[in-house]
């Protein structure tokens, strides 16, 4: 069950959101806030999985409210809703730690799937915003040409097979055995076998040491 707090200064807008969300079996609306301060207070009280946050609100605005909610360190994720897809909002919201951005007039399904994604730890961005995000991101990437140095060429990894190195890479990215199994289309028992062999071959006592090894050997690069 996903719990949601709605933060918007327009009662009619809140009503619409509530109707939509409550029509879903797996979503519960814990409450409604009409400004940023209320949103912060209610989040601290109710610990919703997701706060649906409007940016423009009287008093404390949505960005600042987002910043404080994220800083509180709770598990609550903030999904920012904006009427205009203005860039400065996205930037400020990103710095504030929001988990996603949607446009208010999105399709209901988009909103719902966005909430579910954010609740499960993923992030979402409205399609019309994604383009800019990609462009801006690409612009800031290191200038390398893609060809060149092969990572993970370390003596401690030499005993590993291709497959094992592949598994070690995703271990280094923090994937759980279950995730590895699902994303690589394997049985969890197979993953465990691989992991066990990797630990034995590299002399790591647990996957944590393996993660560290993956970083030290540059098999995985800091992001």
* Site residues (CB under 7 A) for DNA, limited to 122-161: 161
* Site residues (CB under 7 A) for DNA, limited to 184-203: 186-190, 192-196, 199-200
* Site residues (CB under 7 A) for DNA, limited to 165-184: 176-178
Q: Does 170 bind a copy of itself (CB under 8 A)?
A: yes
Distance CA 121, CA 110 (A): 17
- Closest CB to a copy of itself among residues 25, 137: 137
177: partner contacted, choices DNA, a copy of itself, none (Cβ within 5-8 A by kind): DNA
Distance CA 117, CA 149 (A): 35
Q: Does 18 bind a copy of itself (CB under 8 A)?
A: no
Q: Which residues pair with 29 in a beta bridge?
A: 4
- Closest CB to DNA among residues 1, 187: 187
Q: How far is the CB of 17 from a copy of itself (least distance, A)?
A: 17
End-to-end CA distance of the chain, in Å? 32
Q: How far is the CB of 51 from DNA (least distance, A)?
A: 18
Q: Does 192 bind a copy of itself (CB under 8 A)?
A: no
Q: Does 92 bind a copy of itself (CB under 8 A)?
A: yes
Distance CA 55, CA 113 (A): 20
Strands (E), 139-185: none
196: partner contacted, choices a copy of itself, DNA, none (Cβ within 5-8 A by kind): DNA
Query: Looking at residue 185, what DSSP letter applies?
Result: T
| Count of residues engaged in binding a copy of itself, rule: CB under 8 A | 75
The three-state DSSP-derived secondary structure of 51-73 is EEEECCCCCCCHHHHHHHHHHCC
Q: Does 120 bind DNA (CB under 7 A)?
A: no
Contacting residues for 207 by C-beta, under 8 A, at least 6 apart: 171, 195, 199
Q: Does 30 bind DNA (CB under 7 A)?
A: no
**Cβ–Cβ < 8 Å for 93, 55:** yes
**Cβ–Cβ < 8 Å for 215, 174:** no
Which residues bind to DNA, rule: CB under 7 A? Answer: 161-164, 176-178, 186-190, 192-196, 199-200, 205-208, 210
């Amino acid at each position: 069950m996903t719990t949601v707090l709605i933060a918007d200064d327009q009662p009619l807008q809140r009503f619409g959101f509530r109707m939509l969300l409550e029509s879903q079996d797996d979503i519960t609306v814990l409450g409604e806030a009409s400004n940023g301060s209320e949103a912060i207070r209610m989040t601290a009280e109710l610990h919703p999985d997701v706060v649906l946050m409007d940016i423009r609100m009287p008093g404390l605005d949505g960005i600042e409210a987002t910043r404080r909610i994220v800083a509180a360190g709770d598990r609550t994720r903030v999904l920012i809703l904006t009427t205009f897809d203005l860039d400065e909002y996205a930037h400020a919201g990103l710095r504030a730690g929001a988990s996603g951005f949607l446009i208010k007039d999105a399709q209901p399904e988009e909103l719902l799937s966005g909430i579910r994604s954010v609740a499960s730890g993923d992030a979402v961005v409205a399609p019309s915003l994604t383009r800019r995000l990609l462009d801006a991101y690409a612009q800031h990437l290191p200038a390398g040409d893609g060809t060149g140095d092969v990572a993970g060429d370390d003596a401690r990894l030499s005993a590993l097979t291709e497959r094992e190195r592949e598994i070690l890479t995703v271990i280094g990215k923090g994937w759980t055995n279950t995730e590895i199994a699902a994303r690589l289309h394997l049985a969890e028992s197979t993953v465990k076998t691989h992991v066990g062999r990797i630990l034995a071959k590299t002399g790591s006592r647990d996957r944590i040491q393996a993660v560290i090894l993956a970083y030290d050997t540059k098999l995985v690069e800091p992001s």
